[in-house]
Structure formats: C-alpha cells, structure tokens
C-alpha cells in the first residue's frame, strides 16, 4: 500500500534529520570549544548532548508536545458524543482508536502526535468543538487520523524537539559570545563570526526542514482525511471557519506550529510568511474540487 511506503519514508527521514541536526550541533560545538578554549573535550560534550537530544526526540517527543500544548486527556464519560464520532470514523476505516486530548482554549485548532499508532493522540481545542458542526469536526479529525496512518505525527514531533534543542544551543552560544572576555573576542574574532553565523543558520535550517516536510504532508492529509470522514466539503468548511477565527492559540510555539492543522499564529505577519502550512484558500479549493473516489493518496 502507498501509505506503508509513506511510513517507511517518514521513518527514514527521522534518522536523516537526526543526523543533520547532530552534525550541526557537533560543528557548533567545535566552534564553541575553539572560542572558549575547551578543546576536543568541549566538542565531545556537544556530541554527547546531541546524542541525548536524539534519544529524547525519538522516544519522548510526543510527551513534550502534549505538555507544551497544555492538552489534557479526556475520558468518554466527559464527551460521549465526541468519542462516538471518532470511534465510528475509526471503525469505518479500520483505524485504531487514538487517545483523545482537549486544549482548553477558545481558539480553533487540532494536532496529532505519538511515536506510533499504539501511542497515537489526537488533540483538539475546546473552541473547535464548540464552533464547528459534527460534520466539520469529523473533517478535522479525519485529517489528523490521516497523519497518524501515514506516520507523519512522529516525524513532525521529532522535528519539533530537534528544532527546539538547536535553537536553545544557538542562543546559548550567541549570549556567551556577547558576554565573553574582550581579550578572547579580540584573539578569536574570526572564529566568533563563523560560530555566530552557524548559530543563526542552524535554527533557520531546522525551520526550513519543517516547512518543506509539513506543507506537502498537509495536502496529503487533507485528501486522505476527506476519504476518512466521507466528504471533502466537511474539511473544506472547517478550514474556512478556522481561517476566519482570529483567536490565537496561547501555548503554541515556533517549534510546534507545524503540528497543527492550521497556523496557530493569528495576526503575526512574520509567522505567516514563514508558515509551515500551505495557503488555506488553496487547501479549500483542492478539497472542493476533490473526487472522493480518488486514490492518489
């Protein structure tokens, strides 16, 4: 099946991006060690940090994503109608029922995470459940179930943690270079400039990787999600309402923005320009023109 091929590609990309980020951190560690006269010991420390980062990202990325979003697990007795809607969709499509989480905010958004299908989580906001019809909610949930079926949520969750770690290390180097001793800066000015350039380039590279990965997968998840919910117009209508809802998501950060079904930053011009999501109007047009029997997913 094509979805199995996507899952294999996603797993391969997880290791590829881990290798890229580890290389960035190793090179960054070399310049930090040179600048502060740590020698190879300092470089080794950075490589150890990179190894720990990779381990945490691979095994615990979903935990960090859930915690950072403020999502809380909900039980069936709390929202029986919502549970029935999701369960019915899963049974119709032979999909394992994910755990359901709620983000207590009036903003409208949703995301999926989890290391595999057995640990899969679909999180939606209170505002999304309150403002959308059951049909529109099924469109959103279908989109997130598609991410789970394709293994997208693991790839994108890992990228969140990797990008966050690289940004923290880059920021630490920037601050250290600013407040280091002036004599050190005079002796190692060239090294400092190269190191700072790398410190700036690393998080930008992480963001570009997320952007490239996420935009293509959003289109695929829209198409497959339309099949899962049974009608592409359900998701098209939901995306239109989410687009016009200007309530920002309070706990969203740059490292996790690509996980959500829609850009969580409302009114932030820079964030919209660097959005990991394709244009919402274009997504809606594709859904409105979609043949539900299309199999090119």
pLDDT per residue over 159-179, tens digit each? 666 666 666 666 665 555 555
Residues 240, 285: Cα–Cα separation, whole Å: 10
pLDDT grade, residue 283 (50/70/90)?
A: very high
Per-residue pLDDT of 62-73, as tens digits, reads: 788 898 899 999
Specify the pLDDT at position 95.
Answer: 94
| 277: phi then psi, degrees, rounded to nearest 5 | -105, 145
Q: Which residue did the predictor score with more confidence, 291 or 100?
A: 100
Q: Which of 20-24, 38-42, 109-113, 187-191 has the lowest mean pLDDT?
A: 187-191
Q: What's the rounded Cα separation, in Å, for the pair 89 and 78?
A: 19
Q: Are 36 and 180 in contact (CB under 8 A)?
A: yes
Is 73 a catalytic site residue?
A: no
Q: Is the pLDDT of residue 188 over 60?
A: no
Specify whether the CB–CB gap between 114 and 62 falls below 8 A: yes
- For the chain, the domains span 2-288
Mean predicted confidence (pLDDT) in 240-253:
87
Of 77, 81, 136, 144, which one is the catalytic site residue? Answer: 144
């Amino acid at each position: 099946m094509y979805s199995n091929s996507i899952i294999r590609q996603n797993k391969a990309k997880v290791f590829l991006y881990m290798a890229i980020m580890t290389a960035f951190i190793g090179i960054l560690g070399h310049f930090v060690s040179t600048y502060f006269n740590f020698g190879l010991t300092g470089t080794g420390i950075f490589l150890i940090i990179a190894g720990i980062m990779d381990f945490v990202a691979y095994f615990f990325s979903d935990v960090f994503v859930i915690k950072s979003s403020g999502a809380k697990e909900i039980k069936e007795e709390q929202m029986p109608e919502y549970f029935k809607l999701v369960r019915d969709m899963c049974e119709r499509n032979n999909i394992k029922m994910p755990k359901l989480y709620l983000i207590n905010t009036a903003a409208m958004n949703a995301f999926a995470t989890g290391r595999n299908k057995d640990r899969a989580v679909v999180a939606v906001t209170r505002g999304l459940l309150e403002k959308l019809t059951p049909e529109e909610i099924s469109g959103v949930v279908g989109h997130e179930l598609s991410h789970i079926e394709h293994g997208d949520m693991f790839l994108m969750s890992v990228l969140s943690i990797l990008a966050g770690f690289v940004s923290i290390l880059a920021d630490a180097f920037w601050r250290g270079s600013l407040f280091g001793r002036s004599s050190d800066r005079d002796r190692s000015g060239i090294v400092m400039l190269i190191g700072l350039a790398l410190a700036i380039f690393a998080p930008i590279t992480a963001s570009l990787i997320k952007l490239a990965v996420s935009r293509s997968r959003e289109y695929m998840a829209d198409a497959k999600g339309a099949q899962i919910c049974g009608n592409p117009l359900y998701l098209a209508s939901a995306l239109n309402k989410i687009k016009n809802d200007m309530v920002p998501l309070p706990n969203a950060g740059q490292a996790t923005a690509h996980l959500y079904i829609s850009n969580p930053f409302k009114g932030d011009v820079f964030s919209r320009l660097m959005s990991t999501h394709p244009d919402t109007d274009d997504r809606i047009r594709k859904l409105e023109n979609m043949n539900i029997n299309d199999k090119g997913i």
